[in-house]
Amino acid sequence: MFNKCYKVTIMLMAILFLSACSSLYDKHVEWETVKPEHFPVLHGVGYAPISLQKSTHETQRMLMAIKASKLAAYAELAEQVYGQQVSGNVTMADLLVNDDRLSASVSGIIRAAKVVKSYPVGDTYTTELQLNFEDVYSIYQASLNRKEIKEVTYF
């Protein structure tokens, strides 16, 4: 009986000792950044009427239309990147539509967009933007520094 208990104790100690050996090994991990093969380029165009801007000075109306068309172009890029949230509400009374509402919104951050062209066309000011995702990727890599495992060496 003592011999059998002794053997079981020795076996348990050996198992614990051998399993603990794996924690004695250390490892060195080398990381490698993975870059996509190709990047999409998005385009956004914004329009703003010059004569409808609220100012008595023509130069100020032009500057306001330039800014409004640029914001509209950025909103179009944000729609392409993040999508657009649409919500609707219909109220009925006596089987007749009483109130019908539809709203849309977009929210997001656009970085690295470039103004390609900005020009007047008649009474409308137009701004064309371009968003190259290779530039976005570079900004993303610089800020987060995400990487994949290249090689693991055990000592």
How would you write the pLDDT of the chain (155 residues) with one tens digit per residue? 556 777 777 777 777 666 655 555 677 777 777 788 999 999 999 999 999 999 899 999 999 999 999 999 999 999 999 998 889 998 988 778 888 898 988 888 898 999 999 999 999 999 999 999 999 888 887 777 666 777 777 77
DSSP helix/strand/coil, 151: strand
The candidate with the shortest Cα–Cα distance to 101, out of 112, 110, 111, 90, is: 90
Phi, psi of 18 (to 5 degrees): -70, -35
Q: Which residues of 37-55 are buried (b: 16+ CB within 10 A; e: fewer)?
A: eeeeebebebebebeebee
Task: Kindly list the domain boundaries of the chain, sorted by start residue.
Answer: 2-82+108-154
User: Residue 51 carries which DSSP code?
Assistant: T
Nearest to 132 by CA among 81, 86, 58, 88: 81
Q: State pTM to two decimals.
A: 0.65
